[in-house]
């Protein structure tokens, strides 16, 4: 199972990625993790990436694709892999295609913006333990207090509505074009094109999981 997971920030990709990883016994490949690992290991690509990042610039698609190809040679990718947060742009998708990185499925998790904002803006967490609550869907027993310690809960800056709206704007402007890119490729008749599947990401986590598994089995 070689898979790209697409969807807006807050659509639940991380949760579903965990289910898919376990079912198919494949690693989740995130470019952030790859960059950190390559820099730590001091590989040629890692050193090139570090130089760019130290200068406060964005790592080029060439370096990212080089890291991806390096990563896919590792033993844990024998059964396949799941790309999370990559590709983000048409240029990266083209570079992946040109590099011959094989993908079986592109799975889109579709969630309306207002649902994502409600989901993220209502999150509260306990800094000491990482326990997460939601003011509407999973409230603490006592308003804004951790169930275990009774300490104050906090809202992370990343979860605030204005921040979420900005992240969604970036997604719509830069990454959403990939939905049409992969959909059109899937319908082109190209024998190496991945299958494109879309599921709704609203509702019970288990129901979404079942939809994902069903989509990836046909």
CA distance 218 to 216: 6
- Residue 205 neighbours by CB distance under 10 Å: 12
CA distance 57 to 63: 13
Q: Report pLDDT for 33.
A: 84
CA distance 41 to 74: 14
Q: Report pLDDT for 187.
A: 96
Q: What is the pLDDT of residues 86-142, one digit of tens each?
A: 898 899 999 999 999 999 999 999 999 999 999 999 999 999 999 999 999 999 999
Q: Are 82 and 26 in contact (CB under 8 A)?
A: yes
Catalytic residue from among 13, 71, 124, 197: 13
Residue 216: helix, strand or coil by DSSP? coil
Query: Is 88 marked active-site?
Result: yes
Residue ranges in the chain modelled with pLDDT below 50:
none
Query: Is 156 marked active-site?
Result: yes
Catalytic residue from among 2, 71, 119, 123: 123
């Amino acid at each position: 199972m070689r898979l790209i997971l697409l969807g807006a920030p807050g659509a639940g990709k991380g949760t579903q990625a965990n289910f898919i990883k376990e079912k198919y016994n494949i690693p989740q490949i995130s470019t952030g993790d790859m960059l950190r690992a390559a820099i730590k290991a001091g590989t040629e690509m890692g050193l090139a990436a570090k130089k760019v990042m130290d200068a406060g610039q964005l790592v080029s698609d060439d370096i990212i694709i080089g890291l991806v190809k390096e990563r896919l040679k590792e033993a844990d990718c024998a059964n396949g892999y799941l790309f999370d947060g990559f590709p983000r742009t048409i240029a990266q998708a083209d570079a992946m295609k040109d590099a011959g990185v094989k993908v079986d499925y592109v799975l889109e998790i579709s969630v309306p913006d207002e649902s994502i904002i409600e989901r993220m803006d209502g999150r509260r967490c306990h800094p000491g333990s990482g326990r997460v609550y939601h003011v509407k869907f999973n409230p603490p027993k006592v308003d804004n207090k951790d169930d275990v310690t009774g300490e104050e809960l906090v809202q992370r800056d990343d979860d605030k509505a204005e921040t979420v709206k900005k992240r969604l704007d970036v997604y719509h402007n830069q990454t959403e074009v990939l939905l049409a890119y992969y959909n059109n490729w899937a319908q082109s008749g190209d024998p190496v094109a991945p299958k494109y599947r879309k599921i709704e990401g609203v509702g019970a986590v288990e129901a979404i999981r079942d939809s994902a598994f069903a989509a990836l089995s046909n």
